[in-house]
Amino acid sequence: MASSNISYTSIIEELKNKKVGERTLILPDTFLVKVAKFRYRTGNSYIIQHLDRKELLLIDVVHQDSQEAIQQLIQDGFDIVGLLLTHSDLIHQSYTNMKKLSEDLGDVVIYIHPLDSGSQGGFLKNILEPNEVFNKFSISIDHSPGHTGGSVVIHSEINNGMLFTGDSAVGSPYEKEEYYFERPPIANQSQDIGLAQHWKNYTKPFKHMLPLHGKPQFNLSEGRQKDIIINLSKYEPTKTL
């Protein structure tokens, strides 16, 4: 416990001191790119590198701040094989439209839930449909409506289970010593309860929980996983962050 705690603390300290747009190796073959604070807490986007060392899968990488790091990877010979968006806010936060973003990333396919695709639904691919890229990165998708109608959480079996929560779970601020996850503020009570129910029913095991906002958590025991899920499942209304 102590050794994993030291490693975890050092990663968080490194992330706190990183400049926006810089990438950090947080797990084997997995990077976090720091994103400027938007509305609530400092943001995170993610890169998974395939074991063959040539292919990359991006999660929620849409911000202008991220592009220098991503373009450097492309120049270094990496091939981006997919961009997954956890919810529609990422479309609105992108530095450009989805077609141009795809072109800038090497004509990459962009995936999102159909309920969140909006006016760009004809161009974006359905994230719920199984495909070869997802299989290669051991990816599975769960619909987690609440924050938006098409919100999803993304699970990868890589590194003994990584759970990318988007805005369906928000980590504690980097500035605080505490580590916790909570649901985002949702004005509609029934939608908030719906998201709580999603977490109550969630059963996939994960060692690492990687949110869009707030601190990630690593090397979670089964007990800690259960505690996080219980907290996310409470029916008390979420509070303003």
pTM equals: 0.93
Contacts of 86 (CB under 8 A, 6+ apart): 59, 60, 151, 152, 153, 154, 164, 165, 166, 167, 168, 212
pLDDT of 235: 80
- Distance between the two ends of the chain, CA-based, in angstroms? 30
CATH number of residue 141's parent domain:
3.60.15.10
Domain that holds residue 156: 2-233
Query: In the chain, how many domains are there?
Result: 1
Cα distances from 222 to residues 8, 73, 85, 203, 239, in angstroms, run: 17, 35, 27, 11, 27
Residue 145 lies in a domain: yes
Residue 241 lies in a domain: no
pLDDT: is 123 or 45 the higher one? 45
pLDDT of 139: 97
What confidence category does residue 131 fall into, taking pLDDT thresholds of 50, 70 and 90?
very high
Buried b (16+ CB within 10 A) or exposed e, 103-130: ebbeebbbbbbebbbeeeeeebbebeee
Contacts of 211 (CB under 8 A, 6+ apart): 44, 164, 165, 166, 167, 169, 170, 171, 181
Assess whether pLDDT exceeds 70 at residue 237: no
- Tens-place pLDDT, residues 51-73: 777 999 999 999 999 999 999 99
pLDDT of 39: 63
Residue 238 lies in a domain: no
Strands 125-126, 110-112: pairing kind = parallel
Say how far apart CA 185 and CA 59 lie, in whole Å: 22
44 CB burial (10 A radius; 0-12, 13-18, 19+): buried
* Residue that has been written with the tokens 């997954």 in this structure: 84
Tokens standing for residue 127? 């994230």
Provide mean pLDDT across the span 127-153: 96
- Tens-place pLDDT, residues 95-108: 999 999 999 999 99
Say how far apart CA 57 and CA 202 lie, in whole Å: 24
